[in-house]
Amino acid sequence: MFHKLLKSVLIIFLIFFSFQSFSQDYERAFGIKFGNTPGVFYRKFADYKKSLEAIGTFNRGGFQLTILKENYNPVLLDITDQFFVYYGYGLELGYTKLSKEKTQFNGNLYKKMENEAGFGICGVFGLEYHLLKYPVALSLEYLPVFQFYFPKSFYNNQFNISFSISYTF
């Protein structure tokens, strides 16, 4: 069901925005990500094909900072030159609140919540469209994350899909 909906949205997105034929170059972008890990991001291009992106997200009662190295390639050049596929990898640092063993106090059981610091690795694969008349870019991306929290916790998010809107300059 979800895959059919995602496929339909992507097809409508491609058809709707493929009628314009100019490109808009930019060096930096600042935007908002929506999805199961919402947050804000800043992207800086080293050249027209490579960028660094910093993402700040609030997730699971904590905060994560992600740094990604991305490669951009234009796609659908026969139709428009405003679509790009990007992919890359990066590191993630942060902390989260984790539920520990239950403790007993005055005859009642309580969950003990603790902050734990951690690090992780992540990848990114996305599709981006640059609007022609406005300094805006729209993106749909897949960002799998594998995190290790100290001393012995592990978090794996393989279904991290987000939609982002960014101001480009």
CATH at 114: 2.40.160.20
CB 26 within 8 A of CB 135: yes
- The answer to the question of residue 2 being in a domain is no
Q: Are 92 and 120 in contact (CB under 8 A)?
A: yes
Checking if the pLDDT of 1 tops 80, the result is: no
Asked if residue 11 belongs to a domain, the reply is: no
Q: What does pLDDT average to over the chain?
A: 81
Q: Which of 16-20, 41-45, 151-155 has the highest mean pLDDT?
A: 41-45
The Cβ of residue 145 has, within 10 Å, a number of other Cβ atoms equal to 21
Within a domain: residue 21?
no
| Domain assignment of residue 56, yes or no | yes
Task: Summarize the confidence of residues 20-43 as an average pLDDT.
Answer: 80
Assigned domain for 16 exists = no
pLDDT in tens, 53-92: 999 998 777 899 999 999 999 898 888 788 999 999 999 9
Q: Is residue 99 part of a domain?
A: yes
Compute CA distances 92 → 21, 26, 59, 114, 155, whole Å. 37, 26, 12, 20, 12
Question: In terms of residues, how long is the chain?
Answer: 169
The total number of structural domains in the chain stands at 1
Domain range enclosing 74? 28-168
Whole-model pTM?
0.75
The least confident of 71-75, 79-83, 130-134, 153-157 is 153-157
82 occurs within a structural domain: yes
Residue 106 included in any domain: yes
What's the pLDDT band for 144 if we cut at 50, 70, 90? very high
